[in-house]
Amino acid sequence: MCRTVTFLLTSILAAAAIVRGAESPASAPRPNIILVLSDDVGLGNIHCCGGAFRTPHIDALAAGGTRFEYCYSTPLCGPSRCQLLTGRYPHRTGLNTNQSRDAIHPSREVMIPTVLKKAGYVTASVGKWGQMCLGPGEWGFDEYLVFRASGKYWADQAKNAKGYMVNGKPVDLPLDKYLPDVMHQFVADFIARHKSQPLFVYYPMAHIHAPILRTPDSKPGVDKDQLYADNVEYMDKLVGKLMEELDRQHLRERTLVLFTGDNGTARFGVEKATVNGRAISGQKGTMLEGGSRVPLVVNWPGVTPAAHVNRDLIDFSDFFATFVELAGAKLPEGVTLDSRSFAAQIKGEKGSPREWVYVELNGKSYVRDSRFKLTNGGALFDLAEAPFKEVPVAKDTTDPTAVAARKRLQAVLDQHPAAPGQEKDKKAAKKQKQRARRKAAAVD
**Where does residue 27 rank: exposed (0-12), middle (13-18), buried (19+ CB within 10 A)?**
exposed
Q: What is the mean pLDDT of residues 82-99?
A: 96
Residues 220 and 19: beta-carbon distance below 8 Å: no
Domains of the chain: 29-355 (3.40.720.10), 364-415 (no CATH)
Residue 425 has pLDDT above 90, yes or no: no
Residues 425 and 362: beta-carbon distance below 8 Å: yes
Residue 76's nearest CA partner among 291, 268, 248 is 291
pLDDT at 161: 52
pLDDT tens digits, one per residue of 39-76: 999 999 999 999 999 999 999 999 999 999 999 999 99
pLDDT at 12: 38
pLDDT tens digits, one per residue of 294-341: 999 999 999 999 999 999 999 999 999 999 999 999 999 999 999 999
pLDDT at 2: 39
Separation of alpha carbons 6 and 25, rounded Å: 30
Residues 361 and 90: beta-carbon distance below 8 Å: yes
Q: What is the mean pLDDT of residues 86-110?
A: 94
Q: Who contacts 431 (Cβ-Cβ below 8 Å, separation ≥6)?
A: none
Separation of alpha carbons 169 and 171, rounded Å: 6
Strand ranges in 98-233 using DSSP code E only, listed in sequence order? 122-128, 143-147, 164-166, 169-171, 199-204
The pTM of the whole model exceeds 0.85: yes
244-275 residues labelled b (16+ CB within 10 A) or e (exposed): ebbeebebbebbbbbbbbbbbbbebbbebbbb
Q: Who contacts 38 (Cβ-Cβ below 8 Å, separation ≥6)?
A: 45, 205, 207, 208, 235, 259, 260, 261, 262
Residues 302 and 323: beta-carbon distance below 8 Å: no
Measured from the Cβ of residue 49, the count of other Cβ atoms closer than 10 Å reads 25
Separation of alpha carbons 391 and 288, rounded Å: 11
Q: How many CA atoms lie within 13 A of 158 on its CB side?
A: 1
Residue 316's nearest CA partner among 287, 276, 371, 358 is 358
pLDDT tens digits, one per residue of 261-299: 999 999 999 999 999 999 999 999 999 999 999 999 999
Residue 58: C-alpha distances to residues 46, 256, 430 (Å):
8, 14, 37
Q: Which of 77-86, 88-97, 269-278, 422-431 has the lowest mean pLDDT?
A: 422-431
Q: What is the mean pLDDT of residues 187-206?
A: 97
Separation of alpha carbons 323 and 346, rounded Å: 11
